[in-house]
Structure 1
Amino acid sequence: MKTLLSAFLAAGLMAMPLGIASAQENQGSGASVEANSDAATEDAGEIAAEEGHSESPHYPLKKPEELSWSFAGPFGHWDIAQLQRGLKVYKEVCSACHGMRLVAFRNLEDLGYNEAQVKAFAAEYTIQDGPNADGEMFDRPGIASDYFPSPFPNPEAAAAANNGAAPPDFSLLAKARAVERGFPTFLFDLFSQYQEAGPDYIHALLTGYDQEPPAEIADLIQDGTYYNPYFISGPALAMPTPIADDQVEYPDGAPQTVDQYSRDVSAFMMWAAEPHLAERKATGFVVMIFLVVFAGLLFVVKRRVWAGTPH
């Protein structure tokens, strides 16, 4: 038995140098293959550079302008007249393609409308309800507790009617769409409480049509799409220019321009996404004042209690 074990050990010791040599050869061949791959990659990069190819562009091609909003900053508040105009723009223009399934008609009372006006507004919409006693769905006028309906029965129908791209729901779009601010801007946003990136983006997108694309981008624009340098997902989008000057009549005498329409509907969408924004900021200001006063009282009490204690 000891002889057999010694024979196995001897065979293993003899085979070890061969295994090490084989591993070294494989490592050397792998290094040469990697070097050849790196060389081929560099050659391909040089060829692409010579042919005029460049890296994929970063979207959006233009950053949205930072606008002034009434709801910005720690003392922000809603401009009720602007929100009413934004609702009018949404109803007459945007609601043909976009729904707001998370916003109820009764929430419009926050925009200065009374109960009767809200009921009349809701009744202008047709809501599918049911089933009835016969097990069938039926249509009825909207009531205050209903939500803004979608203009399409399902996302597939919406995509089929809009060049293959289903229009997004407007309920949370002002919070969901935003362009990255980058370093160090986002650090300053912590102190300025900037959170209007969504409305800034929506306004820029609505006013960013009718521009000529750069030569290096022209080949990337597909047929049936529309160039917009502010689009966050590419050089062009399936939605054509949605609004034009004098398309919506303002009874309060506000300018009937694309820029004003875009500002108003962007503010309205921000309200739809966060209707309690102004109340939250007011509450936060009161809390901060309380914390400052409370900290001062704690300091005075601490000095009073420990004043006679030797340190």
Structure 2
Amino acid sequence: MSMSPSRHILAAALAVALTAPLGPSAAIAAEAIAPPALSWSWSGPFGKFDRAQLQRGLRVYREVCQNCHGLTLVSFRNLAEPGGPGFTTAQAAAIAKEYKIKDGPNDQGEMFERDGRLADRFPAPWPNENAARAQHNGTVPPDLSVIAKARTYERGFPWFLIDIFTQYQEQGVDYLVALLKGYTDPPQGVELPPGTSYNTYFPGHAISMPPPLQDELVPYTDGAPQTIDQYAKDVAAFLAWAAEPHMEARKRIGFQVMIFLIVFAGLLYFTKKKVWADVHGHA
């Protein structure tokens, strides 16, 4: 079957479009840079969160991130639960009290604000998405409750197979650290859209969020370095806990289940051997 002239023209145009060299901006947008894999205290089947690091990460979140990003799936009571930052119930209640929570209606049918309680969740920094867009150049800053699980990258072969045995699950946290540290000047010839910054690890490299961290920005009282690198690791660790606050319990129960299954399998084997001993002996 012969092609019509219009189809010939369309095919030629498509071929030219697909084979034309990419401009600098398009070529850079197509790059996929994998962040470096870091070492974390909770990695592996027996890993646990560093309590001091989680407390520092909460401090960074409260003083830097919460101005734009919510944490609306995390309750204040989680801060005092086992496997968390290690706050006492009184300390967690004091943190909750620093927030104003919209509640109601009251007996007059009106909404009102009150101090936060342990049962409350971290409030969003804006009342609705339209307000968020108006404040952030048309974009809605993502909620950070599960960001450490929602953001990841492809490890590629053979790493995705190796990760099965090493139980490496920290791609999202590694990406967050790289993102927070990845701000730099754009390469020569690259033009960024207005209101964006160049980030080495962000998809497309043009990110609406300006660099949020700088050295000596958040004071630490435990002697930890007050650097961009330390801030990024601490807040990423805190967000990893926020995404899975019961991770330590999951690992502990998983290990107990594996021990049970091994013992149970052994009992089944010896039971079967005993039951069929006479049959095999007369075979």
Global fold match (TM > 0.5): yes
1:306 and 2:276 are equivalent in the alignment: yes
Residue 239 (structure 1) aligns with = 209
Letter in 2 for 1:142: G
* CA positional deviation for 1:214: 3.0
* CA positional deviation for 1:302: 2.2
The change in CA–CA distance for 1:106 and 1:43 in structure 2 (over 3 A counts) is closer
* CA positional deviation for 1:60: 6.1
1:37-63 CA-partner distances (Å, limit 9, x unpaired):
4444434555x24x8689655666421
1:105 and 2:79 are equivalent in the alignment: no
The change in CA–CA distance for 1:103 and 1:29 in structure 2 (over 3 A counts) is closer
Choose the corresponding residue for 2:142, options 164, 168, 172: 168
| 8 Å contact kept, 1:60–1:231 | no
Choose the corresponding residue for 1:202, options 143, 163, 176: 176
1:98-134 CA-partner distances (Å, limit 9, x unpaired):
1111111111103222222122111111111111222
Residue 126 (structure 1) aligns with = 100
1:88 and 2:59 are equivalent in the alignment: yes
Residue 72 (structure 1) aligns with = 43
SS of 1:102's partner is: coil
Tell which structure's C-alpha radius of gyration is larger.
1
Give 1 or 2: higher helix fraction: 1
Gaps of 5+ in 2: none
**Matches for 1:268-279 after TM superposition, within 5 Å:** 268-279=238-249
The change in CA–CA distance for 1:168 and 1:298 in structure 2 (over 3 A counts) is same
How far, CA to CA, are the matches of 2:194 and 2:18 in structure 1?
A: 30
Choose the corresponding residue for 1:137, options 78, 87, 111: 111
* CA positional deviation for 1:245: 0.7
* CA positional deviation for 1:139: 1.4
* CA positional deviation for 1:243: 1.2
How far, CA to CA, are the matches of 2:46 and 2:30 in structure 1?
A: 33
1:149 and 2:149 are equivalent in the alignment: no
1:175-223 CA-partner distances (Å, limit 9, x unpaired):
11111222332122111111111111111100111x232346x13x211
* CA positional deviation for 1:308: 3.0
How far, CA to CA, are the matches of 1:280 and 1:288 in structure 2?
A: 12
Structure 1 segments (4+ residues) deviating >4 Å: 32-37, 43-46, 51-60
Residue 12 (structure 1) aligns with = none
How far, CA to CA, are the matches of 1:285 and 1:58 in structure 2?
A: 43
* CA positional deviation for 1:92: 0.9
Residue 258 (structure 1) aligns with = 228
1:291 and 2:264 are equivalent in the alignment: no
1:33-92 CA-partner distances (Å, limit 9, x unpaired):
65564444434555x24x868965566642111111111111111111110111111111
RMSD between aligned residues: 2.2
How far, CA to CA, are the matches of 2:24 and 2:113 in structure 1?
A: 56
SS of 2:114's partner is: strand
Letter in 1 for 2:70: G
Letter in 1 for 2:196: T
* CA positional deviation for 1:135: 1.6
| 8 Å contact kept, 2:195–2:208 | yes
| 8 Å contact kept, 1:72–1:196 | yes
How far, CA to CA, are the matches of 1:306 and 1:267 in structure 2?
A: 54
SS of 2:277's partner is: coil
The change in CA–CA distance for 1:60 and 1:153 in structure 2 (over 3 A counts) is farther
| 8 Å contact kept, 1:175–1:198 | yes
SS of 2:211's partner is: coil
Structure 1 length as normaliser, TM-score?
A: 0.82
SS of 1:147's partner is: coil
| 8 Å contact kept, 2:92–2:118 | yes
How far, CA to CA, are the matches of 1:240 and 1:55 in structure 2?
A: 22
SS of 1:98's partner is: coil
